[in-house]
Amino acid sequence: MSKMVAIRVPRNMRAKRELLKHAPKLVENGKKMLILHGTKTSAVLNDVLADFFHLKRDHAVKYTKKNDNIRPFESGGETSLEFFSLKSDCSLLVYGSHSKERPNNLVLGRTYDHHIYDLVEVGVENYKSIESIESYAYDKKLAPKLGTKPFFAFIGEHFESVDELKHLKEMLLDHFKGEVVENLNLAGVDRIFVCTAIPPTTVYMMHCALRLKRSGTSIPRMELVEVGPSMDLVVRRHQRPSESLQKEAMKAPGHAKKVKNVTNNPIDGKEGRIYIPDQEVSKLTLTSDIKGLKRERREAKKNKEHSKKQKVNPE
């Protein structure tokens, strides 16, 4: 007989607020990236994971401890990944490992409801780190700033025709695009990822800063300056989600029911509007129990008594 999992009820408001942060929302929070190390990693992979964390440091969690029991593409080997995803509340995964059969191996993954959704395994070649380019290529003022959003340029028709490259394109976009926003200030878009497809299953990814130059017109001329990291990603294996799981994950939530006469103000919070009908004073019935009338009667009575006394006792 299977053991029932106890549901833990929050005992105070602080614990309740923490549970609400992890609960499903109509508009979800930005996706966070979880970076993990395998049993053995090379110096190249350590630099790759460090640079990925540097690019996503505002929405990333990095574990430096080695993990022995993670096998992403094997049955039962994904349990640890799902556990760490639930623990850190991250839906994007980056796992690095190194072996003789698969040197400089990098696994990019996504989760749905903290269960593995899809995976792409790539090999890293011709890697250039941020530190190696900083020393001779560009000014540190061009380094990407915290909270900025990048452009993406995918060059090559193979991103649409080859299934492996198409899957890798989706994975790269989801890992590095940042939060979804409604309005965007172009001054905050200061970098670009240039991905070039090299047949059959290789992608050259280069991270560049955008430098604005004078062009003699109102539209400035853009110049790309390589700031790193840059690398060749060779697709080795990939795992698509099942049709049922994909259909469930793609469901769009219905719009929340609009409450009449209630608005949300970012400064004052929730505000309500109350409609009161026009008062017709002429039709109102005035009773004799009004305090103002009682006061007037007392004053009139005093004045009447005072006038009688004056008549009785004339001077």
**Segment 227-282, tens digit of pLDDT:** 889 999 999 999 999 889 888 888 877 666 777 888 888 787 888 888 888 877 77
Kindly list the structural domains of the chain, giving each domain's residue range(s) and its CATH number in brackets, ordered by start. Answer: 28-241 (3.40.50.10480)
Edge-first strand listing for the sheet containing 221-239: 60-66, 33-37, 92-97, 105-112, 115-128, 221-239, 202-213, 191-198, 151-155
Cα distance between residue 91 and residue 244, in whole Å: 19
Share of the chain above pLDDT 70, in %: 85
Q: Cβ distance 295 to 303 under 8 Å?
A: no
Instruction: Report strand pairing: 33-37 vs 60-66.
Output: parallel
Report the alpha-carbon distance of residue 268 to residue 300 in Å, rounded.
Answer: 51
Confidence class for position 5, pLDDT limits 50, 70, 90: very low
Say how many CA atoms lie within 13 Å of 195 toward its Cβ: 23
Q: Please, which residues have CB within 8 angstroms of residue 228's CB and are 6 or more apart in sequence?
A: 51, 128, 129, 130, 131, 132, 133, 134, 207
**What are all long-range contacts of 8-14, with beta carbons under 8 Å and residues at least 24 apart?**
none
Q: What is the pLDDT of residue 293?
A: 63
Lowest-pLDDT range, 42-56, 90-104, 180-194, 288-302? 288-302
What is the reported pTM? 0.73
Task: Give me the pLDDT at residue 256, please.
Answer: 64
Q: Where residue 136 falls among pLDDT bands split at 50, 70, 90? A: very low
